[in-house]
Structure 1
Amino acid sequence: MITPAQTPLYEIKANLFKALAHPARIRILELLAAAPDTAAPVSYLLAETGLEASHLSQHLATLRRHGVVTSVRTANAVTYRLAHPKISELLAIARVFLLDSLAGSSEQLRLAQELPAGHLGSTGPVGIPDRLGSTDGLESTAP
C-alpha cells in the first residue's frame, strides 16, 4: 500500500483540483481572496453565495479537508480564511488563462464570420464548415 508520503505529486495535485472543481467552491475562494485578510465569517459567505447553509457547509468542509481553507470558531461565529496566500495567485492565474482563452476563441469566431461566403467551401447553418462539407439542406447564413 502507498503511504501519503509515497503518493506521487501529480495525484496530490489532481486531488487539489478535484476540491476546486465546483463553481460554488471557486466562488467561495474568490470571496475569501477579496476579503480583508483573506478571511470572512460564514454569515458573509452565506449572503454572498446565496447557498443554503447546509450546502455551504458541505463545500467549506471539502475545501477544509483538502487544506485550501482553515476555520476559526469564536463565541458565536465561524470565520474561514484561505490556508495559503498562493491560493489567491492560483485563482488570478486561472482568471488570466481563461480570459486569454476566451478572447482567442472570440477572435477566431469573429475572423471566421468575416470570411467571404464560399471561402471555406460548403458551410453549415452558421457559416462554419461542417465535417462532411454538407449543409444538411440548410443554406449558409454567411453574407
Structure 2
Amino acid sequence: MNREILQFKTEFFKALAHPMRIRILELLSEGNKNVNELQAILGSEGSTVSQQLAILRSKNVVYGIKDGTSVIYSLRDPLIKDLLVVAKAIFDNHLVDTISLLEDMRNENTRKEG
C-alpha cells in the first residue's frame, strides 16, 4: 500500500482517538454547530472544545466557516457520519459477544455450584 495513504489513514484514526472528538463528530453529524453550542451540549469548557476542534481541523475531519464573531463547524466529509454508524454497530456487536460470554460464564458457575 502506498506509504502516503497509510500515513493519511493513521493520522485520520488518530484524530478519532479521543472520546470528546468522537462526541463532537456525532453532534456535527446531526448538523452544523458553533463552539458555544458544542460546549453547552458537552458540558465542557469552551477552551477544551476549541482544542479538540483544532485537532479535528488539523486532520481535515471538520472545517469551520466564520459567521460574524462565531465559527460554524461542519463535517468535512458526510461519509464520516456513516463511519460513526458502522463503528457503533461494530461496538454493539462486540458488546453482544461480551454479554453472551459473561452469561455463559455465569451459567457455568451456577452449574458448578448446584
3-state DSSP class of the match of 2:63?
strand
What is the distance in 1 between the residues matched to 2:73 and 2:54? 11
1:1-143 superposed matches below 5 A? 7-35=3-31, 39-115=32-108, 116-117=111-112, 142-143=113-114
CA distance in 1, matches of 2:7, 2:48: 27
Shift of 1:82: 0.3
Q: Percent identity, please.
A: 36
In structure 2, the residue matched to 1:126 is: none
Aligned Cα root-mean-square deviation (Å): 1.3
Normalization by structure 2: what TM-score? 0.91
Q: Which has more helix, going by share of residues? A: 2
TM-score when normalising by structure 1? 0.73
Structure 2 runs not aligned, ≥5 long: none
The residue identity in structure 2 corresponding to 1:15 is E
Secondary structure, aligned partner of 1:99: helix
Report Cα offsets for 1:11-51 as digits up to 9, x if no partner: 2111111111000000100000022xxx1122110101112
- The secondary structure found in structure 2 opposite 1:101 is helix
Distance 1:46 1:19 in 2: 19
Would you say how many aligned residue pairs link Structure 1 and Structure 2? 111
Contact 2:36 2:46 in 1 (8 A): no
Q: 1:32-77: per-residue Cα shift (whole Å, max 9, x none)?
A: 0022xxx112211010111211111110000001000010011121
**What secondary structure sits across from 1:8 in the alignment?**
helix
Ranked by relative contact order (alpha carbons within 8 Å, sequence separation 6 or more), the top structure is 2
